[in-house]
Structure 1
Amino acid sequence: MIIDYRYHIASLVAVFIALGIGILVGSAVLGNEVIVKRQQQLADRLEIQLEELRQKNEAVQARANNLEIDNNIQKQFEKQVLPPLVAGKLTGKRLAIVETNSYGFRDDLVNTLTMAGATVQSVTTVLDGFDLTGRKDRLVSELNLKEADDNALVKQLAAETARGILTGEKQALLNTLAQAELLKLSGDYGVPVDGVIFIGGSQDRSLVKTEILDYPMIDYFLQQKLPVFGVEETDVTYSYMKDYQKKRVSTVDNVETPPGQLALVLAIAGKPGHYGVKPTAKQLLPPIDTATGGVGNVKPGQSVSGNSRT
């Protein structure tokens, strides 16, 4: 809106200049007082409009400044109330994080999980969506994989990666994929965990491979009766929420924000559901027990609808 006002002001200034030239030319050449008078009336009206636009522009700028102040206050409030709201909610929980969009995520997510009492055992980042270009033959040879098309191999690598995260039996495979720059590994593998957080959502259409990358990994963890939580940031171009929800796992679509991180903590603590600000979310936050500060418990492997998985 401010940009539009500036455009109009610039246009009006140009009109003023044109009128000034017109008045000079009309006076010198034509000497017609009627023309000069009409031009002066038009200039007066334009001057009034210019003043009105200037006042509106100032009002909009003041409004924008106030909104920025309110937003900063809101952010400070959220940061201050988040620690006591999550404190102790995940005491003793051990979690694994799997990132399938290659972008990385903010440190404050791990900080929030830690504040809640959880331990992040490992963070596994799939790079470039397991793009096998120029790597396929080498990987097939080194990992003794069956010859197959790229999609089938990505599915196989995804499932084996999930197995390696949980059991540690595929450490050689994980290391080979890391050396091929298809995985980034951090933490301890083969350590029992109580849940797995998938960080999805993409800015690049070519990286959206939920069916061949995310699904095989999610399916493996669900088969092991582990709860899975699918999350993404608010401003991703391609959302994974609908895809994750097809697997009946809890989702949070604004995990970079304090409300999103609170929703994730409460979901892990036993309030499954679909939370956030996008159309795929059912509500912003799970119900919070203000009397005790606690949340209900859901047995590992229980779906977001409350029914046990088979």
Structure 2
Amino acid sequence: MIIDYRYHIASLVAVFIALGIGILVGSAVLGNEGIVERQKQLADRLEIQLEELRDKNEAVQARANNLEIDNNIQKQFEKQVLPPLVAGKLSGKRLAIVETNSYGFRDDLINALTMAGATVQSVTTVLDGFELTNRKDRIISELNLKENEDEKIIKLLAAETARGILTGEKQAMLNTLAQVDLLELSGDYGVPIDGIIFIGGSQDQTLVKTENLDYPMIDYFLQQKLPVFGVEETNVTFSYMKSYQKKRVSTVDNVETVPGQLALVMAIAGKPGHYGVKPTAKQLLPPFETTGGVGSGQSVSGNTRP
């Protein structure tokens, strides 16, 4: 964190003004040269402290500028090296994305998957964690549901949404949920897919419904022998990684970053694991093979943990 000394400087300036007034009053009213001299000495010490603070502030600002330059260089480097690192690794793969935290995700995730040769067939966003408030009666009526408990309804909707993504048989139900603002639908449904990416992690605890929402969907896809990958961004307040890992699916906890996107591509390409920067991760990246330098075909580990 960058320390801003401006507030300290402002305080010292106020002290100087007060001292100036005190010196004038002391000279005019009291005529006490001793008091005036002590005030001058104090002013001199404060001036030295002010100068030191200015020097520190300049040093901190210079350091901040250097860090910003380094960060920009790092980002440029990552953007340039990602395309050749992922090129062709997912050639022909057809993927579906399911987002259960309602926040949306960055376009560069799909860009990374596309650069790797994959096609994102559909993106399904669950809104408000399938919150049924003011919608329950309509949903029960229009979908002819026999369940009445919220948790059971959410589990049912989750499982049927997963079925609709894969088979296309539940398009009417998906459209109904979209009409009541419980789903956002994009892409083609009922087409063959080779894997599903779940985007979780939340800033709002009320949206954390992994057992009722994520699990029924994940279970359905796993039952269909399809690989599932659970991802989230680094700075989420409530992480889903432990919950996803209970289902024995690969996870990436920093998917908004280039290393996270590379890890996801490699996991989909056949190197499952738990990748990222959080305590739930085992490695930053999967091991990968080089064609030179270290030795042809030699495995190089992306492990950053002791």
TM range, smaller chain: over 0.9
CA contact (8 A) 1:98 1:124 kept: yes
Q: For residue 47 of structure 2, what is the amino acid of its counterpart?
A: E
Greater Cα shift, 170-179 or 150-159:
170-179
Question: Distance between the aligned counterparts of 1:141 and 1:55, measured in 2?
Answer: 71
Aligned to 1:148: 148
Give the Å deviation of 1:190.
1.1
Q: For residue 93 of structure 1, what is the amino acid of its counterpart?
A: K
Aligned to 1:241: 241
Q: For residue 40 of structure 1, what is the amino acid of its counterpart?
A: K
Q: For residue 139 of structure 1, what is the amino acid of its counterpart?
A: I
TM-score (norm 2): 0.93
* CA distances 1:203-230 after superposition (whole Å, capped 9, x unpaired): 1111111110001000111111111000
TM-score (norm 1): 0.92
Question: Distance between the aligned counterparts of 1:159 and 1:288, measured in 2?
Answer: 36
CA contact (8 A) 1:270 1:295 kept: no
Aligned pair in 2 of structure 1 residues 274, 180: CA closer, same or farther (>3 Å)? same
Give the Å deviation of 1:147.
2.7
Aligned pair in 2 of structure 1 residues 68, 198: CA closer, same or farther (>3 Å)? same
Give the Å deviation of 1:36.
1.1
**Is 1:209 aligned to 2:205, yes or no?**
no
Aligned pair in 2 of structure 1 residues 89, 7: CA closer, same or farther (>3 Å)? same
* CA distances 1:69-120 after superposition (whole Å, capped 9, x unpaired): 1100000000000000000000111111000111111111111101101111
Aligned to 1:38: 38
Q: How do 1:100-249 residues align onto structure 2 when only pairs under 5 Å count?
A: 100-249=100-249
Q: How do 1:40-119 residues align onto structure 2 when only pairs under 5 Å count?
A: 40-119=40-119
CA contact (8 A) 2:2 2:64 kept: no
Aligned residues: 296
Give the Å deviation of 1:3.
5.2
CA contact (8 A) 2:196 2:226 kept: yes
Aligned pair in 2 of structure 1 residues 156, 68: CA closer, same or farther (>3 Å)? same
Q: For residue 8 of structure 2, what is the amino acid of its counterpart?
A: H
Runs of 4+ in 1 over 6 A off after TM superposition: 292-296
Question: Distance between the aligned counterparts of 2:234 and 2:189, measured in 1?
Answer: 30
Question: Distance between the aligned counterparts of 1:275 and 1:103, measured in 2?
Answer: 22
CA contact (8 A) 1:233 1:254 kept: yes
* CA distances 1:238-281 after superposition (whole Å, capped 9, x unpaired): 11111111111111111111111001000101111111111211
CA contact (8 A) 2:106 2:256 kept: yes
CA contact (8 A) 1:288 1:294 kept: no
Aligned to 1:288: 288
Q: For residue 250 of structure 1, what is the amino acid of its counterpart?
A: S
Question: Distance between the aligned counterparts of 1:193 and 1:151, measured in 2?
Answer: 29
Q: For residue 252 of structure 1, what is the amino acid of its counterpart?
A: V
The secondary structure found in structure 1 opposite 2:120 is: strand
Question: Distance between the aligned counterparts of 1:29 and 1:239, measured in 2?
Answer: 67
Listed as ranges, the gaps of 5+ residues in structure 1 are 297-310
Give the Å deviation of 1:148.
2.2
Question: Distance between the aligned counterparts of 1:295 and 1:226, measured in 2?
Answer: 30
Q: For residue 228 of structure 1, what is the amino acid of its counterpart?
A: V
User: RMSD of aligned C-alpha atoms?
Assistant: 1.7
CA contact (8 A) 1:201 1:232 kept: yes
Question: Distance between the aligned counterparts of 1:294 and 1:183, measured in 2?
Answer: 45
Greater Cα shift, 286-295 or 175-184:
286-295
Aligned pair in 2 of structure 1 residues 8, 97: CA closer, same or farther (>3 Å)? same
